[in-house]
C-alpha cells in the first residue's frame, strides 16, 4: 500500500526561531529554517477513502493542521509525554466532533507513561467525573507492539530518550524515531529493510537526552535506508549549510516536506 508522509513540524521543543534569540538561524530568511514543534502526518487510501494518522500533537498542532489542510484524523500515536509532543491534544476537539457525527471516536495510542501524563494534564477530558461538556471525543488506548490501523500495520520501536523509555513507529518501509538518545539492539532488528528512516538530530553539541547530528548519521549508516531525514532540530543547525555537509541520501527535513512511502513490508 502506498501513502504519503508529511513533516508537520521539524523543530526542537522550543521551536525555531527560539523566543528571544537573534542568532543567524532564528533570524534567517530561509523558510526551511522555521521549524514548528515535531509532528508528522501519514496518509493513505483505503477503500476509496483517505485515512489520516498523526504522530504527536504538540503545541503547534492547530497551526499545522490549518497549514496542511487536515480535515479529519483517524488516529493519533504518541511517542512520549513531553510538552512539545502532547500539548496540542485539545485541538483535536473539532476534528473529533466530525468523527463523532459518524458515530466514532478518535483513538489515541499511548504508552502507560504517556497515558498517565495525558490523563493528568487533560483531566477534564479523560476523568469519568469531569463535567466539561465539549470534551474531545477521543479514546486513550494502550500502545501494543503491533497495531492494525485501517489496513496498515504499525510496529512500535522502543528507543531511549535520556533515561526515559519512549517509542518510535514503523509503517511498512518507513520508520519515525524522534527524541532518541540511544537505540537498543533489539530495536535495530525492527529497522531492517527500510526505504526511509526519520531520526532526530538536535545539534552538534552533546545533550543528555538527544542524539547529536554525528550520532544520528552513524545510526543512519547502520540502518542503511535509501533515504534518511533528520528532525527535532535546534537553532544551531542552519538548513542549507548543514545539508551541504551530510552524506548522500541524508538530509535535514523541513516543515511541510512530503514524500511517498510504501506502508506495507
* Interface positions with Zn ion (CB under 5 A): 13, 18, 21, 23, 26, 82, 84, 179, 235
Q: How far is the CB of 84 from Zn ion (least distance, A)?
A: 4
Q: How far is the CB of 243 from Zn ion (least distance, A)?
A: 18
Between 44 and 230, whose beta carbon lies closer to Zn ion?
Answer: 230
Between 26 and 121, whose beta carbon lies closer to Zn ion?
Answer: 26
Between 83 and 218, whose beta carbon lies closer to Zn ion?
Answer: 83
Q: How far is the CB of 165 from Zn ion (least distance, A)?
A: 12
> Are 213 and 230 a contacting pair, CB within 8 Å?
yes
Q: How far is the CB of 78 from Zn ion (least distance, A)?
A: 11
Beta bridge mates, 54 = 41, 76
CA 250 to chain centroid, in Å, comes to 18
Between 91 and 179, whose beta carbon lies closer to Zn ion?
Answer: 179
DSSP 164-233: EEEEEEEETTEEEE-S-SB--HHHHGGGTT-SEEEEE---SS-BTTB--HHHHHHHHHHHT-SEEEEESB
- Beta strands (DSSP E) in the chain are 2-9, 39-46, 49-55, 75-77, 106-110, 138-142, 146-149, 152-161, 164-171, 174-177, 196-200, 227-231, 250-252, 258-262
Q: How far is the CB of 260 from Zn ion (least distance, A)?
A: 26
Between 82 and 239, whose beta carbon lies closer to Zn ion?
Answer: 82
Amino acid at each position: 500500500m502506498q501513502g504519503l508522509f508529511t513533516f508537520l513540524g521539524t523543530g526542537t521543543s522550543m521551536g525555531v526561531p527560539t523566543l528571544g534569540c537573534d542568532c543567524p538561524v532564528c533570524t534567517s530568511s530561509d523558510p526551511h529554517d522555521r521549524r514548528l514543534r515535531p509532528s508528522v502526518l501519514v496518509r493513505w487510501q483505503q477503500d476509496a477513502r483517505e485515512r489520516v494518522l498523526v504522530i504527536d500533537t504538540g503545541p503547534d498542532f492547530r497551526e499545522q493542521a490549518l497549514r496542511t489542510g487536515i480535515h479529519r484524523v483517524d488516529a493519533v500515536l504518541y511517542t512520549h509525554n513531553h510538552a512539545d509532543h502532547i500539548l496540542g491534544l485539545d485541538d483535536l476537539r473539532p476534528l473529533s466532533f466530525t468523527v463523532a457525527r459518524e458515530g466514532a471516536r478518535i483513538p489515541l495510542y499511548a504508552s502507560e507513561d504517556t497515558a498517565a501524563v495525558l490523563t493528568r494534564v487533560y483531566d477534564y477530558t479523560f476523568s469519568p467525573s469531569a463535567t466539561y461538556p465539549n470534551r474531545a471525543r477521543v479514546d486513550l488506548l494502550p500502545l501494543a507492539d503491533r497495531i492494525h490501523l485501517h489496513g496498515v500495520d504499525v510496529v512500535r520501536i522502543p528507543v531511549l530518550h535520556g533515561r526515559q523509555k519512549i517509542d518510535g513507529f514503523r509503517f511498512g518501509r518507513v520508520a519515525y524515531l524522534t527524541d532518541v538518545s540511544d537505540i537498543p539492539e533489539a530495536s535495530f532488528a525492527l529497522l531492517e529493510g527500510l526505504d526511509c528512516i526519520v531520526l532526530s538530530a538536535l545539534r552538534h553539541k552533546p545533550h543528555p537526552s538527544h542524539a547529536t547530528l554525528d550520532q544520528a548519521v552513524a545510526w543512519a549508516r547502520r540502518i542503511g535506508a535509501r533515504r534518511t531525514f533528520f528532525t527535532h532540530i535546534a537553532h544551531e543547525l542552519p538548513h542549507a549549510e548543514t545539508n551541504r555537509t551530510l552524506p548522500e541520501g541524508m538530509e535535514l527535513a523541513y516543515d511541510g516536506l512530503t514524500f511517498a512511502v510504501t506502508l506495507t513490508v
